[in-house]
């Protein structure tokens, strides 16, 4: 929405019941050419700066209310003979995926795109983040699409005690799928949303808990011993402290072999 203040035409202006703008904005307005002129320039720059083969294009929790109230989109719906505003979302996703494909990038979208029945390109990766992920992974992979998992690894969901163990024990291929379906799971990632996070606590909340996620995703499925992992995570935290990263203790207060009187010497 901050971007929408600088480029007002990018986001959809919301209208009240009297047909006047109410001063708020909704999702991107996909039915005007200026949106795609801007996004084409934006993603071309992103593709040039970041060499990663994948771009995460979002698509979760899209509200249709502003689209439904906006006269420009209402007219677009009328011109195309549509009454279901999911057609606006479909048009947005199809156009966006085509744009990114022309940049030789692959794409990841949140599971709502799949759940809402939108048509996607065959190489689209679905990011599963909601509860009941086992059933969702089955549905996604049974349709022939690749999937990644994030449900298990929301680091902003704080719980009392050593919560890293539940991150370590989550296996994204542990669902009732065939071998072929399980092989369509290409990984996962952790999330740290910012409702209660800023620059003062980002590093401590993220590390070393994200290390447990990393080890799970990069280790063979047969490596599952939590006690062994705890030793590695402790040592990992000590290395981070020696490099000036304020990683929190994963299992409560402890000490590192480099410490003396509670002080970690600089590396």
Q: Has 45 been annotated as catalytic? A: no
**Positive or negative, the Cα torsion across 169, 175, 177, 183?**
negative
Length of the chain: 267
Q: What distance in Å separates the CA atoms of residue 34 and residue 89, rounded to the nearest whole number? A: 17
Burial letters 216-226, b for 16+ CB under 10 A, else e:
bbeeeeeeeee
Q: What distance in Å separates the CA atoms of residue 185 and residue 124, rounded to the nearest whole number? A: 12
The SS3 call for residue 243 is coil
Tell me which residue of 113, 129, 132 sits closest to 121, measured CA to CA: 113
Number of helices (H), then strands (E), belonging to the chain: the values are 12, 7
The SS3 call for residue 108 is strand
Measured CA distances, 129 to 126, 181, 220, 228 (Å): 9, 18, 23, 28
Please pick, among 9, 37, 45, 61, the residue that the annotation labels catalytic. Answer: 61
Question: Cβ neighbours of residue 178 under 8 Å, at least 6 residues apart?
Answer: none
Tell me which residue of 39, 81, 80, 86 sits closest to 67, measured CA to CA: 86
> Is the separation of the CB atoms in 106 and 125 below 8 Å?
yes
Active site residues: 61
């Amino acid at each position: 929405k901050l971007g929408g203040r600088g480029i007002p035409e990018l986001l959809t202006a919301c209208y009240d019941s009297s047909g006047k703008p109410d001063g708020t904005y909704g999702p991107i307005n996909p039915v005007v050419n200026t949106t795609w002129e801007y996004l084409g320039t934006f993603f071309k720059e992103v593709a040039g700066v970041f060499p990663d083969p994948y771009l995460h294009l979002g698509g979760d929790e899209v509200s249709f209310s502003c689209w439904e109230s906006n006269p420009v989109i209402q007219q677009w719906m009328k011109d195309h003979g549509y009454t279901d505003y999911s057609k606006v979302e479909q048009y947005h996703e199809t156009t966006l995926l085509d744009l990114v494909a022309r940049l030789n990038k692959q794409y990841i979208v949140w599971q709502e795109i799949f759940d809402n029945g939108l048509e996607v390109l065959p190489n689209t990766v679905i990011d599963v983040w909601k509860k009941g992920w086992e059933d969702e992974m089955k549905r996604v992979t049974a349709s022939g699409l690749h999937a990644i998992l994030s449900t298990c690894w929301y680091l902003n969901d704080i719980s009392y005690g050593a919560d890293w163990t539940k991150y370590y024990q989550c296996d994204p291929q542990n669902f009732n799928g065939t071998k072929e379906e399980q092989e369509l799971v290409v990984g996962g990632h952790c999330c740290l949303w910012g409702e209660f996070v800023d620059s003062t606590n980002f590093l401590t909340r993220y590390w070393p808990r994200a290390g447990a996620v990393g080890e799970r995703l990069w280790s063979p499925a047969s490596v599952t011993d939590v006690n062994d992992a705890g030793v590695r995570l402790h040592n990992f935290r000590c290395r981070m402290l020696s490099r000036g990263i304020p990683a929190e203790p994963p299992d409560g207060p402890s000490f590192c072999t480099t410490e003396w009187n509670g002080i970690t010497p600089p590396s």
